[in-house]
Structure 1
């Protein structure tokens, strides 16, 4: 059996009409198609074939696509005659409920108030599918900048903007400099009165429909007077398929100790890491979140 999703009107009419026409032209039945598919190991129910022909549903996933490829052969169609009409997937995959892994109610409230000030829903309808964040560390051992590239997906409805926050729990800071490198522009900025939460609203280049994706890239830089920062990280409110954090140290200021902090809504884990003669270190997670993935470092004995 195969799992299907409802299709958009144009896509399902085109695909369904082509499939129905081809079945009539070949003079076969759905039962005949089902039997031929089963003989080669493609088990597709008669109900699913009927849904595909009527346009009530459309094929999704590699197994269904394999079945359609075989149907093209069984109906004497050119290769991809049907596959090319299916269109992009409407699935968003398993995302789970959004959560923020913050134990302090005060900080959680500051985050909610910052979202409201940015005119954004507290839980936005977007998720990071894959993120790569590169942090540059200067010769003084402190963060200079962090550049983040994200494959963003709409989980429901159509979105035109997405908020991002920079958190410094327990430390009051001036606002860092948010800049959009590619994929849109910044329309609003807000710093919470606590000085622990700073945010920016990113306007996308084009509206993002359900399950559609886009790439965005932005950068955080820290102005004069900003407290010296010897940690970096990235947080997600929903499950993310891939996260890569790459921290690059100045060769004249390699830290004496490094630790990874993985914080989720239910647990916090601290793991010592080593450079092993390198000047960079990376962290990787697959199918991970919600949570915060952080890297901390220092000089001298670990306090």
Structure 2
């Protein structure tokens, strides 16, 4: 291969690593590396990654793709062997097919904006950030703490979550917040722990805020990350009437806590949940002596989970998060 051919091949590979598809990018990467499938198998075996030439052939022809954790780990070793950036080939894989305990319900994951009112506007705002890793992150634990202050004011929302990568490459989490009051500023998002703020899309006319929280480094398959962020309202603060979180994908554990700080608690408070294709379920929750309420859901989603309470008869939830 002369210099011109090498330059052309490298340019083609760089383009395919950006656009895909996975099978073609892998095929060109193998061709550019100049190794046969048997030789690649031998090299990977020495590195502790077992894969047959037939499997490699299926991957580069599009007949199959790596999905299981062992296959994704092999793909990570293969990227190193082929000299492509870590996670570059894995990023081209389509979302994994659902298996096991999460396979019940509709086939495939619910679309990112399916649970939201005016889904087209939410989708337009979300298009301004990178959501490609969303389905590669398992929600192990999520904890929302809602702070209601003096004057029954909706002050802030602090969220802590534990996520696990199911492939190499996830480097961010996307936050979506919707408020009912479209004539006021959207909350300010702050990265509190183990993350930093990326791109932010604010649409106050639609009551929408979308933000990227960037992890300290891209995750490898099996890695976990704990992040914490805050959404803080701007004075004059809105009246707090409720809070709900939308779950596009299941979460192992969800904790929702509301703290009534410096204000007399409401007389009535209830939690509610709606799983996909099921009717709403409600549970009355008494306010504790310390002025807080909380509820725990295990193995929840897809669906909606929230709290609502009464201030002089007002019960409509005002804030929705993801």
**93-102 vs 138-147, which deviates more?**
93-102
Structure 2 counterpart of 1:294: 306
Matched position secondary structure for 2:234? coil
TM-score (norm 1): 0.63
- Residues of 1 paired with 2:185 and 2:205: CA distance? 10
Structure 2 counterpart of 1:204: 215
- Residues of 2 paired with 1:105 and 1:296: CA distance? 18
Q: CA deviation at 1:163?
A: 0.8
Aligned residues: 224
Which of 242, 262, 268 aligns to 2:253? It is: 242
- Residues of 2 paired with 1:253 and 1:278: CA distance? 11
The answer to whether 1:166 aligns with 2:197 is no
Structure 2 counterpart of 1:69: none
Residues 153-188 of structure 1: per-residue CA shift (max 9 Å, x gap): 223441112211112357554220100001120011
Structure 2 counterpart of 1:137: 148
- Residues of 1 paired with 2:156 and 2:215: CA distance? 22
The answer to whether 1:191 aligns with 2:202 is yes
Q: CA deviation at 1:111?
A: 2.1
The answer to whether 1:262 aligns with 2:273 is yes
- Residues of 2 paired with 1:240 and 1:193: CA distance? 29
Contact residue 98 and residue 238 of structure 1 kept, 8 A:
yes
- Residues of 1 paired with 2:183 and 2:111: CA distance? 20
Q: CA deviation at 1:213?
A: 1.3
Distance 1:173 1:100, change over 3 A: farther
- Residues of 1 paired with 2:163 and 2:150: CA distance? 33
| Structure 1 or 2: more helix by fraction | 2
Contact residue 186 and residue 204 of structure 2 kept, 8 A:
no
Structure 1 counterpart of 2:38: none
Matched position secondary structure for 1:175? coil
Contact residue 100 and residue 291 of structure 1 kept, 8 A:
no
Structure 2 counterpart of 1:229: 240
The answer to whether 1:117 aligns with 2:128 is yes
Alignment of 1:86-97 (within 5 A): 94-96=101-103, 97=108
Residues 77-98 of structure 1: per-residue CA shift (max 9 Å, x gap): xxxxxxxxxxxxxxx9744543
Q: Which runs of 5+ in 1 are unaligned?
A: 1-8, 17-56, 59-91
Structure 1 counterpart of 2:225: 214
The answer to whether 1:271 aligns with 2:283 is yes
Aligned-residue Cα RMSD (Å) equals 3.5
Residues 207-231 of structure 1: per-residue CA shift (max 9 Å, x gap): 0122321111101110124532321
- Residues of 1 paired with 2:257 and 2:225: CA distance? 22
Determine which structure has more spread, i.e. the larger CA radius of gyration.
1
Matched position secondary structure for 1:207? coil
Distance 1:245 1:104, change over 3 A: closer
Q: CA deviation at 1:102?
A: 7.0
- Residues of 1 paired with 2:157 and 2:253: CA distance? 18
